[in-house]
Amino acid sequence: MDISIVIPLYNEEESLAELTSWIVKVMEQEKHTYEIIFVDDGSNDNSWDIIEQLKTEYSCVRALKFRRNYGKAAALQVGFQATKGNVVFTMDADLQDSPDELPELYRMITEDGFDIVSGWKKVRHDPVFSKNIPSKFYNFIVRKMTGIKLHDMNCGLKAYKRRVVKSIEVYGDMHRFIPVLAKWAGFKKIGEKVVIHHERKYGVTKFGLERFIRGPLDLMSVMFISKFGKRPMHLFGVLGFIVFLIGLGATLYMGIHKLVAVSNGIRLERITANPLFYIALVSMIIGTLLFLTGFLGELISRTSGDRNYYQVDKEI
């Protein structure tokens, strides 16, 4: 099969039929073999009923439904596992991503040799202060921290080689950082294409103000995972060793200073009356705890099981 199109959705009943017919029209013109995989992230409207109806009209439609709402990352991970196509696309179900972009993205993967091609919504039809400006700032920070030169890291419209989606694990809210996870997995040829951004035609956005908190936290998480996920001792062990040495050095200084003073007949206050003593003590305790954290992290990283615990309730 040439193409798999993974579409996560949550309460998008109004747009599903129009989106499916649009994709089918584009794919039939291109003469590709393809499948459309809807992943219903626990919708509480009629989205699943509409998908069942679409399945009777289009043989290319496949679908999975979560028992409850797990989030976009979970939907993408399960969708990636179900794909059979050599090139995998992701796009949102709200009609803001245009299926007309798919042929060129496919060409960039198959002919230009990119591992990933990410869409860039250069002209956005979103509120300026609540989305556009925060998005530009967020993407600037991510570019500087990861070295991946993408203008729109979180664009839902992306194309991947099959081996990319089969090699990464998306969980939590890591859907924002799939290119970072892919780069960490060894896929470094990451491209970008300017795509058309349509205004939302139906429904409302599913991401609120909490994204301003989750975004930076997720970025720190993915940076830690990419650098120290399999070797946490390299971070916590080094930090613990340095902090412990600071405390030990301060303790030795106070002890030697006290002994020299006593040997010379100089009367000094008790070591426990010196605030530096407690700073040194706390430093050694913190250093030990950091070292133990790294040790436990090493044990967990080597014994952790599969994170694939998402419960699929229905499947077509």
- What pLDDT shows up at residue 185? 84
Q: Which CATH class is domain 3-228?
A: alpha beta
Average pLDDT, the chain: 87
Determine which of 112-116, 238-242, 263-267, 275-279 has the lowest per-residue pLDDT on average: 263-267
Report how far Cα 225 is from the mean position of its chain's Cα atoms: 11
Phi, psi dihedral angles at 9 (to 5 degrees): -150, 155
Residue 206, judged by CB atoms within 10 A of its CB (0-12, 13-18, 19+), counts as middle
Q: What is the pLDDT of residues 55-110, one digit of tens each?
A: 999 999 999 999 999 999 999 999 999 999 999 999 999 999 999 999 999 999 99
- What is the per-residue pLDDT across 152-203, written as a single tens digit (0 to 9) for each? 888 999 999 999 999 988 887 788 889 988 988 889 899 999 999 888 777 6
Residue 278 confidence (pLDDT): 94
The answer to whether 82 touches 62, Cβ cutoff 8 Å, is yes
Tally of CA atoms within 13 A in the half-sphere of 155 that contains its CB: 30
What distance in Å separates the CA atoms of residue 284 and residue 247, rounded to the nearest whole number?
A: 5
Query: How many CB atoms are closer than 10 A to CB 107?
Result: 15
What confidence tens digit (pLDDT) does each residue in 276-308 have?
Answer: 999 999 999 999 999 999 888 888 877 765 554
Q: Distance (Å, rounded) from C-alpha 239 to C-alpha 245?
A: 10
The set of residues, in sequence order, having a beta carbon less than 8 Å from that of 135 and lying 6+ positions away, is 124, 126, 152, 154
* Distance in angstroms (rounded) separating the CA atoms of residues 22 and 26: 6
Q: What percentage of the chain exceeds 90 in pLDDT? A: 55
Model pLDDT, residue 118:
95
Please calculate the CA angle 33-39-43 and round it to the nearest 5 degrees.
145
